[in-house]
Amino acid sequence: MHRQPLRLLLIEDSEDDEILLLEELRSCGYEPSHTRVESLEDLDRALHGGTWDAIISDYVLPGFNGLTALEQVQQRGIDLPFLIVSGAVGEDTAVAAMKSGVHDFLFKDRLGRLGPALARELREAKVRADRQRMQEQLLLSDRLAALGLLAAGVAHEINNPLASLRMNLDFTLSRSRERALPEDDVQALRNASECAELIQEIVRDIKIFARPEEQDFGPTNLHRVLDSALRMAWNQVFPRAQLIKDYGDDATVHGSQARLAQIFLNLVINAAQSIPDGNSSEHEIRVVTRREQNGSVRVEIRDTGPGIPPELIERIFDPFFTTKPLGVGTGLGLFICRRLVTEMGGTIGVQSHPGRGSLFWVHLRGLL
């Protein structure tokens, strides 16, 4: 008989009742993997550190009751089937529990309803979760549309004065030899021209928020792109870690130089920001490239930061999701990286273990 897996959080102080409940669930077609807690402190740790399908609680427990446990779950914003299975209590208690948000109230001497009640609540929880995802997707679409309009307007307003600035700088540089300007002045003009060119590239990158454009993808020198991204990220890197380049053979890939630079700049800055300031000699950010047997090229950005908790790994590329402090990140960087990599026919992923750093990898189509 194939049983349905069930990740169960059991709030119960009796081992005998624990065995009784698990046997009943197995007889109803479930295969529970469970954790039993019997204090609010243990409950808090279980809610923080685990992923659950349902919660079953006794009503009377040492120092608290099922409604107190429910309140703790609700305060965390967790929407799971929450059933109370209790001994003899008054009808008023059961009614009060249902009004408080308990999904069902069952008695230990009448467990025949447990299987059907749990199945019903699991179905309804899925419906609520699907509805929430649809609402979030609609909200996300609205936010991306608004962000696109803003980005298009900003890019347009910057482009006009920037074009004039670049023309004036180019004109002045072309006349610098005739006027015999001091070399320091000429170098200052060159630096200003390079900065203006960089701003123009950033403006072009901003347009990705407005509308994805058809890109002229072609052969791109990957190592040259990486060197450019690393130079741009240097101010973020050097106070935190040593930068190590471990390049393989010269790698030419199919892609867009500007888009690849944006991807790797974001990944390197993220790696740097995961490491605290002040101990650069104890940390490293390593950039690795190598050609795979299938002809693709793999790029790795490794850091020795604190790593990413397992429960966050699956969300790391979601739009507007960020682990950075309020005001530091928008949560769009990795989302955009994945979209850009996919547009170039590549893939991107992450491996991480808390306390052992993170590794972001990108596979790109290699060209010989």
What is the chain's alpha carbon radius of gyration, rounded to the nearest angstrom? 29
Taking residues 162-185, what's their average pLDDT? 82
- In our burial notation (b when 16+ CB lie closer than 10 A, e otherwise), range 75-110 reads eeeeebbbbbbbeebeeebbeebeeeebbbbbebee
Nearest to 98 by CA among 110, 115, 86, 112: 86
Average of per-residue pLDDT across 225-238:
86
> pLDDT digits over 326-338, tens only?
545 556 778 888 8
Which pLDDT value is given to residue 350?
94
**CATH of 218-367 among 3.40.47.10, 3.30.565.10, 3.90.400.10, 1.10.10.10:** 3.30.565.10
Q: What is the pLDDT of residue 209?
A: 47
Does the pTM surpass 0.85? The reply is no
**Do 121 and 100 form a contact (C-beta atoms < 8 A)?**
no
Separation CA 239–CA 195 (nearest Å): 23
Higher pLDDT, 296 or 211: 296
pLDDT confidence of residue 316: 85
Q: What is the mean pLDDT of residues 251-262?
A: 86
Helix ranges (H only) for 211-250 are 222-237
Grade residue 305 by pLDDT with cuts at 50, 70 and 90.
very high
> What is the per-residue pLDDT for 212?
46
Residue 236: name the closest of 208, 197, 277 by CA: 277
- Is the C-alpha dihedral spanning 155, 158, 164, 169 positive or negative? negative
First to last CA, the chain: 54
Of 248, 17, 45, the residue nearest 114 (C-alpha) = 17
Instruction: Pull the structure tokens for residue 171.
Output: 């004109």
pLDDT of residue 76: 86
Whether 325 has a pLDDT exceeding 70, the answer reads no
pLDDT band per the 50, 70, 90 thresholds, residue 96: confident
The whole-number pLDDT of residue 313 equals: 84
Q: Name, in order, each residue with C-beta under 8 angstroms of 208's C-beta and a sequence gap of 6 or more.
A: 151, 262, 336, 340
Superfamily designation of domain 4-109: Response regulator (3.40.50.2300)
Q: What is the pLDDT of residue 215?
A: 57
**Given this model, what pLDDT does residue 132 score?**
80
Strand ranges (E), the chain: 4-11, 30-37, 54-57, 60-61, 64-65, 82-86, 104-107, 218-221, 242-246, 252-255, 284-291, 297-303, 347-352, 358-364, 366-367
Nearest CA-CA partner of 114 in 91, 94, 85, 86: 85
Residue 20 identity (one-letter amino acid): L
Q: Which of 163, 170, 207, 214 is nearest to 189 (CA)?
A: 170
Long-range (24+ apart) CB contacts under 8 A made by 193-200 are 193/166, 193/169, 196/162, 196/165, 196/166, 196/169, 197/166, 198/232, 199/158, 199/162, 200/159, 200/162, 200/166
Kindly report the average pLDDT of the chain as a whole number: 85
d(CA 32, CA 11): 14
pLDDT of residue 19: 93
Per domain, the residue ranges of the chain are 4-109, 134-210, 218-367
Q: In what order do the strands lie in the sheet with 82-86?
A: 30-37, 4-11, 54-57, 82-86, 104-107
Amino acid at 195: C
What average pLDDT score do residues 77-94 get? 85
Does the pLDDT at position 158 exceed 70?
yes
- Are the CB atoms for 61 and 38 separated by under 8 Å? yes
pLDDT band at 116 (very low <50, low <70, confident <90, very high): very high
> Which tops the pLDDT comparison, 347 or 234?
347
Q: In the predicted model, what is the mean pLDDT of residues 290-308? A: 92
Is 72:45 a contact under the CB 8 Å cutoff?
no
Q: List, as one string, the DSSP characters of 317-340.
A: TSTT---SPTTT--S-HHHHHHHH
Cα–Cα dist 352/310, whole Å: 8
Under the banding of pLDDT at 50, 70 and 90, the label for residue 119 is very high
Confidence of residue 10 (pLDDT cuts 50, 70, 90): very high
Q: Is pLDDT at 250 greater than 60 in this prediction?
A: yes
Q: Is the pLDDT of residue 271 over 70?
A: yes
Percent of the chain with pLDDT over 90: 42
Whole-number Å distance between alpha carbons of 18 and 25: 11
Q: pLDDT at residue 258 above 80? A: no
What is the pLDDT at residue 349?
A: 94
Q: Regarding predicted confidence, which is higher, 17 or 211?
A: 17
Please tell me the least confidently modeled range out of 15-19, 38-42, 183-187, 297-301.
183-187
Mean pLDDT of 252-280: 88
Q: How confident is the model at residue 85 (pLDDT cuts 50, 70, 90)?
A: very high
Q: What percent of the chain has pLDDT over 70?
A: 89
Mean pLDDT score, 62-90: 89
- State the pLDDT at residue 155: 76
pLDDT surpasses 90 at 287: yes
Under the banding of pLDDT at 50, 70 and 90, the label for residue 206 is: low
What is the number of other CB atoms lying within 10 angstroms of the CB of residue 322?
18
